[in-house]
Amino acid sequence: MPVADDTLRAFMPYPDTPVASAATGTLAGQRLAVKDLFDVAGYPTSMGSPVFLAATGVRTTTAFLVRQLLEAGAQFVGKTICDEFAYSMIGKNAHFGMPVNAAAPDRVPGGSSSGSASAVAGGLADIGLGSDTGGSTRFPGSFCGLFSIRPTHGRLSLEGAAPMAPSFDTAGWFTRDALLFETVADVLLGEDTSPLGDEPELHLANDLFAFADPVAAAALKAAIQRATLRIGDIRGQDLDVPDVGELVTAFRRLQGREAWTSLGPLVERYRPPLGPGVAERFAFARAVTDAEVESAAIVRDEFRARLRRILGSDRVLLLPSAPDIAPLASDGDVELDDFRSRAQRLAVFGSLTGFPQVTIPVAEKDGAPIGLSLLGPAGSDRALVALGRRFHRAAALRLA
């Protein structure tokens, strides 16, 4: 996208190179913004890092998912800024800047898929391709008032995408429109391996709402109450997870080890200046021990089995996508680190298990959006997307 047209500072300032797409298809005419960790032939890939950009050069092939969208008729409009090495959830990049959150301009857009969410929220694109390792589609979706998804881990091909922590990395997408959100799912997901029934059980995860700001939680619960008038009863349930902090620690250690394996050699070789927070996370990643990885893997496996039993084959959990509306762009590192710690307590339920999670825009606080998440059994992605559209319509905050 020409720099002059990028009013949201969402796109990388690369020279425009034509990218062919099909003239017809279910996505014909829909503008596609691609997170700059997916390869597009004729463009470089930065992964949010000047060092990664310089070390890898212009790509000659296009990532599998991007090809699928182009073949369905989507029109490529540019590559979008992401957080440095995709190792943040806030949306600030010390090297390339922070895209504007069009839904709340004084607040951060969320990361690491910040530019894709910004472009869609601000009307510069219709579809934003992103990725999610620890919340990178879920938080921007919530903060920018969008539909977004973290699919079942392994459901979508990551061929041609830069790896961060492969056993957690997924691709996802953003749209403003519920119908388009479902159309993209039809293009990318294929058939569900574990489809939900016609009337899946919806359970409000009571104890997870306690992790959210009380006013934000009340707004989400009001939306859920509106939805019950149209789609039937929603039951409350305590998950009784004994120590969410232990889950977060396990995730951080496993993610850290894999991030260091994927990106540590480049960081060690070039010693790049890393942005605030990113430097500390790589220092943590480098120090993770084999014993910590082994114990974290046990925690992950036990929790995954526990949540699988809770969900069964036909149960969907409702939980806040984030603990609050987006932090203020003016917040300092201390405030942002505190928010990140709170947010991880919610994100870990999808990240650590690999189960699919859809975010839908149903509520606001102080004029800024906050999303509701639907978390379902592994392999139920398309059914979960369809349920999210039904639920959004039933909540009736904003019909699409």
**Which residues, other chains included, contact 149 with Cβ-Cβ below 8 Å and sequence gap of 6+?**
137, 172, 173, 181, 185, 356, 357, 358, 359, 381, 384, 385
* Cα 196 to Cα 383: distance, rounded to the nearest angstrom: 6
Backbone angles phi, psi at 172, to 5 degrees: -155, -175
Q: For residues 79 and 116, give the distance between their C-alpha atoms in angstroms, rounded to a whole number.
A: 8
Q: How far apart are CA 131 and CA 161, in angstroms?
A: 9
Classify residue 328 as exposed, middle or buried by CB count within 10 Å of its CB (0-12, 13-18, 19+).
Answer: middle
Please name the residue that has the structure tokens 């902090």.
Answer: 245
Strand (E) positions, the chain?
31-35, 75-80, 127-132, 147-150, 170-175, 201-205, 235-237, 315-320, 357-365, 368-375
Give yes or no for a contact between 306 and 84, defined as CB atoms under 8 angstroms apart.
no
C-alpha 259/C-alpha 281 separation (Å) is: 10
- Asked if omega into 131 is within 30° of 0 (cis), the reply is no
- Strand pairing category for 31-35 and 75-80: parallel
Residue 203 makes CB contacts below 8 A (sequence gap 6+) with 234, 235, 236, 237, 315, 316, 317, 318
99: which residues sit within 8 A by CB, 6+ positions away?
8, 9, 10, 80, 81, 91, 109, 114, 115, 117, 118, 119
Q: Catalytic amino acids?
A: 35, 112, 136
At residue 373, the 3 state secondary structure works out as strand
Asked whether 111 and 154 are in contact (CB, 8 A), the reply is: no
Calpha distance 171→194 (Å, rounded):
19
